[in-house]
Amino acid sequence: MAHLKPSFPPLQPSTPSHPSALFDMECHRLVQAATALSLLFQGQGIRHAFYGSIFPALLAKNPASDEIFCIVEGGQSQAHPFRRVRDAIAGSEDFTVTHSTWTNRLHVSYRRLIPAIDIEILPAGETGPRVLDNPAVMKVMGIPFLSYSEFIRAKLKSWMIRGSERDALDITFVLANYWDRIDMNRIPDQDMNVFASRNPTAAPAWGALRKKYGM
């Protein structure tokens, strides 16, 4: 299939551009925490991918983000992702785990930095795909993240439930700038039509993606 050029300009970051030094200063802490957690999980054979507004922030070199999650697969023995994370972090000097049984949420804190960096753990399948294999994951700065397609799919699901402006901005930025790398088969067509109708800046990229797939 021939590579299609968009008939519209890609979106710029939703907030003003910042000098590289400021980007490095603001994002370095999140990247450092994610790298450390990823290395720990890799050592335990736990497949995972990071997710959240940190993804478009890194793509845009825009420091205006404090949202980061880590999606974790369950084990072959059907061990719950939360159990796998608790077992992996047991005895770690750099990480602590907080599990709220009332809300059934699990948070990991990276204590090597002050203040500590908090990363919420999300079970694969509830957020993102159930299997975090190569098509679903991509590397940014050496860290595994959900791919463009899976990021938009997960954010769109969240937006359909909560209608968050942050989710809308994230979807629009990734769609507008990387539409030609997105697998449309992973995007719920009806939900994205609703999204594009309520977020007109996303409509040109969505239209270009549909045209690419002959729709």
Give the mean pLDDT of the chain.
87
What distance in Å separates the CA atoms of residue 70 and residue 124, rounded to the nearest whole number?
9
What distance in Å separates the CA atoms of residue 49 and residue 38, rounded to the nearest whole number?
8
Say if CB 193 and CB 76 are below 8 A apart: no
Q: If residue 179 lies in a helix (H) or strand (E), which one and from where to where?
A: none
Q: What is the pLDDT of residue 19?
A: 46
Q: Determine phi and psi for 103, rounding to 5 degrees.
A: -100, -5
pLDDT (average), residues 50-72: 87
Q: What is the CA radius of gyration of the chain?
A: 18
What distance in Å separates the CA atoms of residue 56 and residue 70, rounded to the nearest whole number?
15
Q: What is the pLDDT of residue 24?
A: 53
pLDDT in tens, 81-98: 999 999 999 989 999 999
pLDDT range class, residue 3, cuts 50, 70, 90: very low
In this structure, what is the dihedral angle of CA atoms 146, 130, 126, 116, given to the nearest 10 degrees? -50
What distance in Å separates the CA atoms of residue 152 and residue 127, rounded to the nearest whole number?
11
pLDDT range class, residue 18, cuts 50, 70, 90: very low
What distance in Å separates the CA atoms of residue 135 and residue 171, rounded to the nearest whole number?
19
The CATH fold assigned to 14-146 is Beta Polymerase; domain 2 (3.30.460)
Q: Residue 58: what residue type?
A: L
Q: What is the pLDDT of residue 49?
A: 98
Q: What is the pLDDT of residue 10?
A: 53
pLDDT range class, residue 5, cuts 50, 70, 90: very low
pLDDT in tens, 175-209: 999 999 999 999 999 999 999 999 999 999 999 99
Q: What is the pLDDT of residue 209?
A: 96
What distance in Å separates the CA atoms of residue 2 and residue 184, rounded to the nearest whole number?
16
| 29 Rama sector, left if φ>0, alpha if ψ -120 to 50, beta otherwise | alpha
What SS3 state is found at 99? strand
**Domain ranges in the chain?**
14-146, 148-215
Separation in Å, CA 206 to CA 63, 136, 162 = 26, 20, 21
What sign has the CA pseudo-torsion 15, 194, 52, 179?
negative
Q: Residue 187: what residue type?
A: I
What distance in Å separates the CA atoms of residue 50 and residue 173, rounded to the nearest whole number?
18
